Structure 1
Amino acid sequence: MQIHQSRLSGWRKPIDKQYADIPLCLCSFVSGLCDSASFNASSVFVSMQTGNTLFLAIGAARLPPNVPYMWLRAITSIGCFMLGCFCFSKLRHVEPLRKGTLAFNFFTQGVFIFVAAALAQSGVVSAMADLHVAERLAGELHFDFNLLIPIALLAFQFGGQIVTSRMLGYNEVPTNVLTSLYCDLFSDPNLISPWSSNPKRNRRVFSAVLFFLGGLSGAWLAKSDAGMGTALWIGGALKLVIALAWLVWKEKDVAFEKN
Structure 2
Amino acid sequence: MAAADSKLEKGQPYNEKEQEHDRDSALWIAPTTLLTKAHFLTDVDPERSTFPLAAYCFMTGFIDAICFSAIFVWCAFQTGNTVQLALALARLFDGPVGQRDGSFHLPDKQALTSVLTFIFGAFLGRIGDRIGSKTRLWLFLGTMIQALFTMAAALCIWKSHQPSVANARDDPAWSNALSFVTVGFMSASMGLQGIMGKRVNTQFATTIVLTTVWCELMADPNLFRLNRFVITRDHKVIGIVALFLGGFASRAILQAIGSAGTLGIGTGIRVLIAVWWLFVPGKPAKAVKK
Q: TM-score range by the shorter chain?
A: 0.7 to 0.9
The DSSP-based 3-state class of the residue aligned with 1:252 is: coil
1:227 aligns with 2:258: yes
Counterpart selection for 2:130 from 74, 90, 93: 93
- Equivalence for 1:131: 164
Counterpart selection for 1:152 from 156, 165, 184: 184
Identity %: 23
Give the distance between the partners of 1:180 and 1:154, measured in 2 at CA: 23
- The AA in structure 2 aligned to 1:206 is I
The DSSP-based 3-state class of the residue aligned with 1:131 is: coil
CA separation of 1:5 and 1:186: change in aligned 2, threshold 3 A: closer
Give the distance between the partners of 1:221 and 1:116, measured in 2 at CA: 16
- The AA in structure 2 aligned to 1:244 is V
The DSSP-based 3-state class of the residue aligned with 2:64 is: helix
Counterpart selection for 2:248 from 201, 216, 223: 216
Instruction: Check conservation: 1:80, 1:153, Cα contact below 8 A.
Output: yes
Instruction: Kindly state the Cα deviation for residue 151 of structure 1 after the two structures are TM-superposed.
Output: 0.9
Instruction: Check conservation: 2:41, 2:136, Cα contact below 8 A.
Output: yes
1:175 aligns with 2:207: yes
| Deviation digits for residues 111-156 of structure 1 (CA, Å, limit 9, x no counterpart) | 11011112223xx2233xx336x54996499832321101111111
- Equivalence for 1:205: 237
- The AA in structure 2 aligned to 1:125 is S
Unaligned runs of 5+ in 2: 1-31, 95-100
Give the distance between the partners of 1:33 and 1:242, measured in 2 at CA: 14
Give the distance between the partners of 1:170 and 1:4, measured in 2 at CA: 27
Give the distance between the partners of 1:5 and 1:46, measured in 2 at CA: 34
- The AA in structure 1 aligned to 2:222 is N
Instruction: Check conservation: 1:68, 1:142, Cα contact below 8 A.
Output: no
Instruction: Check conservation: 2:33, 2:39, Cα contact below 8 A.
Output: no
Instruction: Check conservation: 1:165, 1:171, Cα contact below 8 A.
Output: no
- Equivalence for 1:244: 275
- Equivalence for 1:79: 116
- Equivalence for 1:119: 156
CA separation of 1:71 and 1:178: change in aligned 2, threshold 3 A: same
- The AA in structure 2 aligned to 1:131 is S
Unaligned runs of 5+ in 1: none
- Equivalence for 1:34: 63
The DSSP-based 3-state class of the residue aligned with 1:15 is: coil
- Equivalence for 2:222: 190
- Equivalence for 1:7: 36
Instruction: Check conservation: 1:218, 1:228, Cα contact below 8 A.
Output: no
The answer to which structure has the higher helix fraction is: 1
Instruction: Kindly state the Cα deviation for residue 227 of structure 1 after the two structures are TM-superposed.
Output: 1.3
The DSSP-based 3-state class of the residue aligned with 1:227 is: helix
Root-mean-square deviation (CA, aligned residues, Å) is 2.9
CA separation of 1:141 and 1:41: change in aligned 2, threshold 3 A: closer
Instruction: Check conservation: 2:156, 2:179, Cα contact below 8 A.
Output: no
Give the distance between the partners of 2:50 and 2:288, measured in 1 at CA: 21
Instruction: Kindly state the Cα deviation for residue 28 of structure 1 after the two structures are TM-superposed.
Output: 1.1
- Equivalence for 1:52: 81
1:103 aligns with 2:140: yes
Instruction: Check conservation: 2:64, 2:247, Cα contact below 8 A.
Output: yes
What TM-score results when the alignment is normalised by the length of structure 1?
A: 0.84
- The AA in structure 2 aligned to 1:20 is S
What TM-score results when the alignment is normalised by the length of structure 2?
A: 0.76
Count residues with an aligned counterpart: 249
CA separation of 1:256 and 1:199: change in aligned 2, threshold 3 A: closer
Instruction: Kindly state the Cα deviation for residue 82 of structure 1 after the two structures are TM-superposed.
Output: 1.3
The worse-fitting range, judged by mean Cα deviation, of 9-18 and 150-159 is 9-18
